[in-house]
A and B are shown apart, each in its own frame.
Chain A
Amino acid sequence: MHVATACSIALVGAEGHLIDVQVAVSQGTVGTFVVGRPDASLHEARDRVRMAINNSAQGPKDTWPATFRVTILLAPADLPKSGTHFDLAIAVGVRAACDAVPASALLGTVFIGELSLSGSLRPVAGVLPMVIAASARGIRRVFVPESQAREAAMVPGMEVFGMRSLAQVVAELRGEEVPDAAPVAPPVRTSLLPAGRGAAELLDLDDLDGMEDAKYALEVAAAGGHHLMLNGPRGAGKTSLAERLPTILPDLTTDQALEVTALHSLAGLLRDGDGLVHRPPYFAPHHDASKASVVGGGTGRVRPGGISRAHHGVLFLDEFPLFRADVIDALRQPLESGEITLARGDATATFPARSMVVLAANPCPCGNYSGSVDTACTCLEPARNAYRRKLVGPIVDRIDIWRDVEPVSADAGHDAFAPRVDSATVRARVERARTAQARRYDGRSWQLNGAVPGPVLAREWPLELSGQRLLDDRLRVGSLTRRGVTRVQRLAWTVADLRGVERPGVGEARLALDLRTAAPLSADDIRQAG
């Protein structure tokens, strides 16, 4: 009896598990049996692998062992497995069990890739998280489809073999000269519209005239990682503001970039030639979006949703009151814990989902309502009320900063003396404020003011007495709740960090209070920021 083991990785959510693909070739009733909780796509691997081996055979000895019983075990056997990327490990295991490949060549090596009937190696989704998982388990050698070698090589210290066919993999393992093979075309998605990619790099805060206090709110949100709500009539510039928020966020750290790129790989968003995602991502689902598309889901293999695609970036929910109730409800957990857990019958998948949330709402369903008498709004009063009633609840409760965005008057932007501030300048200030926070929260599980637990903040980093007194007064009058006080304290710290103040005093507390309550900011307050 001959047994061989080749390793691959099973993904459960964003978590990778090292899987031993054990292949036993023995005498007995002939057949191929895949055991160890495979799903339908993995069961089909029997047929793909068999034909792939036969079609890449050099001679009759290299063919599938058709006179033997082939048992393929995916161990640990109790973990449900899914996906077509086990093909390569199975094929290599079968060849090794037939003594065509030395078993020692398979040690400490992970095989990832789908096989076609002709024996060519096809790309699969999620290579980066798999290689990260392999690296965490001490694996230092990985075979992947050629077009994904770049993606796999993002993991430091990994020896990556990008291969085009099973024959090439087998030759490499035998230490023979690798035969030539036709390149495998990566899956091509052609967009009818040539634009899209690259457009995001052209955005700059400087594009927007006026809106000083909304811009300042963006800066505070970016500096402290605070969630933000933008209220305003149609065309006031809420979307323009939100899509420029990523431009003032600092570059991702290497660890963050790996996490984000891994999530994009899982979602199948990475294309050939894409490097590490090093800029904070931005994702804006439409308000009709389903729960599965926003928080993740799907049958069988669970895929990350928009909230995970925006991990370490910005999730923008335009027309927030029109989002479906189940979507809003599902966003509650990721906002609290920074990750989303999707429970399935046989497994739970967890994806990281720590993004800044920007909500936008119109004053009414038609978007034209304003307080004045000559309002252009055509909505009926009950419709307006129903719309506003959606602006309460667990998600809205977690918003730190509220801003009213008014349409910019026609002569804004013509003032030649108004200081123009571009994204790079603001980003530098944000980075400075974040450095101050990193120093303060050194060794803690959080890095930003927006994530500091309330009690810890009140105990270890209280405001100056004058600032605290201001908040206590508001609490006593009843215009601020206890939770509100905590939020204002966090904001006050961010304002102080932006201003370079040692400890937030009454000025910072008042500005934080204004940010929290959607009160207009004075020009002095804003200017002090720079």
Chain B
Amino acid sequence: MTTAPRPTPAPGARQTSRQRLGAYGEELAAQHLSRQGLTVLDRNWRCDIGEIDLVLRDGSTLVVCEVKTRTSTAFGTPHEAVTPRKVARMRSLAARWLQAHHVRPLDVRLDMVCVLSPRRGAVEIDHVRGLT
């Protein structure tokens, strides 16, 4: 697991295959959540302690969302990749985002979207609300 934020790729720079997969998953996740009625506020927001994949609004609730994309479950499900430590980091990232944008929502929720995109076969998207 990376603890330092990944370097921002320069615009137009070549992405690695892992980065391409991640970006693809995030795009799918954003579309999926939009269809569910959530509003995307921010994507790939970075600060000195890390990156938030998606920031959304679900009614009066601000949603900070982590997207995990995998091509197979051979090394565990995407769900398992979100550890309690990762959730703790998402929580402090959410605080940073609120501070930076001077937003005071009624409620803040941490979600994850797991995208399983096997080499052949249909893509599976699972949205898990309210990580604790």
Interface residue ranges, A against B (CB under 8 Å): 27-31, 66-68
Contact = CB atoms under 8 A, between A and B. Distances in A.
Interface centre among A29, A31, A66 (most CB of B within 10 A): A29
Contact of B132 (A29, A66, A67, A68): A29
Contacts of B87: 29
B114 A67 contact: yes
A66 B77 contact: yes
A30 B132 contact: no
Contacts of A67: 77-80, 114, 126
Contacts of A30: 77, 79-80, 82
A30 B73 CA distance: 14
A66 B76 contact: yes
Contacts of B114: 67
Contacts of A66: 73, 76-77, 79-80
A27 B82 CA distance: 12
B130 interface: yes
Contacts of A68: 79
Interface string B99-110: 000000000000
Interface residues of B, number: 17
Interface in B48-103: 73, 76-80, 82-84, 87
Interface centre among B80, B128, B131 (most CB of A within 10 A): B128
B128 A28 contact: yes
Interface pairs A-B: 4 shortest CB-CB: A67-B79, A30-B79, A66-B77, A30-B80
Given A67-B114, A67-B126, A29 B77 contact: no
A29 B73 contact: no
B129 A27 contact: yes
Given A67-B114, A67-B126, A29 B76 contact: no
Interface of B: 73, 76-80, 82-84, 87, 114, 126, 128-132
Nearest to B84: A29
Contacts of B84: 29, 31
19 contacts: A27-B128, A27-B129, A28-B128, A28-B130, A28-B132, A29-B83, A29-B84, A29-B131, A29-B132, A30-B77, A30-B79, A30-B82, A31-B83, A66-B76, A66-B77, A66-B79, A67-B114, A67-B126, A68-B79
A31 B83 CA distance: 8
A486 to B, nearest CB: 67
A291 B96 CA distance: 61
Contacts of B126: 67
Nearest to B131: A29
A31 B129 CA distance: 16
B72 to A, nearest CB: 12
B82 to A, nearest CB: 6
Contacts of B73: 66
A104 B78 CA distance: 33
A179 B68 CA distance: 39
A68 B128 CA distance: 9
Interface centre among B79, B82, B114 (most CB of A within 10 A): B79
Contacts of B130: 27-28
Nearest to B81: A30
Contacts of A27: 128-130
Nearest to A60: B73
Contacts of A28: 128, 130-132
Given A27-B128, A28-B131, A66-B77, 13 more contacts: A27-B130, A28-B132, A29-B82, A29-B83, A30-B79, A30-B82, A31-B84, A66-B73, A67-B77, A67-B78, A67-B79, A67-B114, A68-B79
A68 B84 CA distance: 13
A27 B129 CA distance: 8
A27 to B, nearest CB: 5
A24 to B, nearest CB: 14
A28 B84 CA distance: 10
Contacts of B77: 30, 66-67
A30 B66 CA distance: 14
Contacts of B128: 27-28
A447 B132 CA distance: 62
A391 B14 CA distance: 92
A31 B128 CA distance: 14
A27 B109 CA distance: 14
A28 B109 CA distance: 12
A29 B86 CA distance: 10
A524 B78 CA distance: 91
